[in-house]
Structure 1
Amino acid sequence: MILQNEAPVDSSQTSSKIGIVLVLSAFVIWGLSPLYFKLLTQVSPLEILAQRAIWSLLFLLVILLIQKQFNQIFATIKIVKYRYLLFITTALISTNWLIFIWAILNNYIMEASLGYFLTPLLNIILGVLFLNEKLTFIQKISLILTLGAISIQIFSAQFLGAGPWISLGLATTFGIYTLVRKKIAVSSVVGLSVETLYLFPFALCYLIYITLNQKMIFLTSENISLLLMLGGIITALPLLLFVAGSKYLPLSSVGFFQYIAPTGQLLLAIFVFNEKVDSSKMISFSLVWIALGIYILHTIFQIYQNKNQRKMSRT
């Protein structure tokens, strides 16, 4: 059975506008997600993760039934290679979610945002190591600056704290997750459905365990219960918006939007939750922003240059 992949890019102006709105909405939701998790400070990160997995699975299964793609789950699992690769991605994305939830609940939003700023540049390193991609001179400069930012975080006064390891943990798990998912030719919705399906029995067992030990917060409060149930939608909705929007945009354009989420998280950390900005954090963020700025400008220049070359070849 042939698995359904993403639709081809539609280059029309109207479709591009639709794509921009959808992708922008996805990253804005991701950027504002700390506001949601801060409402669950009395719930343990593991319970939030377990509830998130269960309600996300239910929400995704409804979406797949509406789209008549439910059979894609079984078609995917039947492929031995995908079956085992999705076990790996499940472990990676679950770890990523757990680190992110723990960071938000323990007032490390700024470190979490730095992790997602580092992710695109880590993807470059992974591409070189595992996909035989070649680095340009500009990319090398960006990576040197990024390594400097990481070094400052690790060897700062916070060396014995959790800060640098949150950033590295988030960037590493999501970067490797992205790398492995490239080897799985299924849509993002189907892939996430299989991942949450794998996570479901572990989540259910954990919830049964804390229920028997009278430690489960779910159902002890209507507001908390509703928020935990909404976690499934909050997890899956931005992904669905992202997948739908990315169909209409070139990959290079989509890449520029990925910095909206960590920027939103950083602004929330500083202006809403009053997290302290010390000198090491400012230097680290500055180096990362300079690296990203150089990388983005270089990418824009390459896109512009390629367009001109295509125009010249047609004349």
Structure 2
Amino acid sequence: MAHGGAIQRSRKILLLTWISMVPSTKYLGVTLDRSLTFHEHAKATAQKTQARVSLLKKLAGTGWGANFTTLRTSTLALAFSTAEYAAPAWSHSTHVHKVDVVLNDAMRLISGTLTATPVSNLPILSGIPPAQLRRDAQYAKLAQKHDRDKCLVPAPSAFEGQRLPRRHFATQAAELRPENPPSTLATWITKRWSDQWNSSTTNLKEFIPKPCAKPSGSDLPRKAWVNLNRVRTGVGRTQYFLHKIGAESSPNCACGEIQTMDHVIDDCPIYKSPHGASGLRELDDETICWLNKDLPI
């Protein structure tokens, strides 16, 4: 009887205990919300990644710091690994741009470029495939695993008569599944990246015709590497640019002309490159020596 009374009291306590309603919860490191928009997860991932990018910024500045290989490897290990955790679950959320903003900041660190640099130029200069393409690759890899183990995720037919989840896995995987086996997934990424790059209209293709892990000039010292990328992208701290954003009162160079990037490279009697824009493709000793100078870029 005593045992039965204890059970009755426990039941009464349970009935009087309200289960609190929470807008989101974390499961295996992924924050889930009621509508599976992954807004909170994208926000938390962006904050965590930003903290790691802030640490990476201690490794290099504009004219000093670690070389390209060290920065690229560190960024992949610290920032991208954090940003891509469980990517197949949330990579097609409309809030994924919150993470991409931070990753773009990390790629600017590697390349030494400014905020005004076109985002499409950042992956090619940092030697890292675009963030969405890397996430799609993880999705495609999971799709290949799904092909080997059909019970991994229910097929769309299992939801017949019901509303399908947002972009059901099988539907999305069909769009990304590579034709080749998993061992050639890296080749699949490279091909898609090359196709994206070939379809772009940026002038940077004149200097880097195809994407690779080590773009031309990446073996230069930090100062020369930063100057090279700013010249190639056409975005630097010239007087014209600084005047345009209100940081300087005059757009004129020390020689008296308007100091645009083209003026610095080809026309300025004080700063001009020994071989003009064409020398930036060959990167001979004279051009490298010029890139190591204190240029207004």
Whether TM exceeds 0.5 here: the answer is no
TM-score of the pair, normalised by structure 2: 0.26
Higher helix share: 1
TM-score (norm 1): 0.25
Larger Rg: 2
Higher RCO structure, 1 or 2 (CA under 8 Å, sep 6+): 1
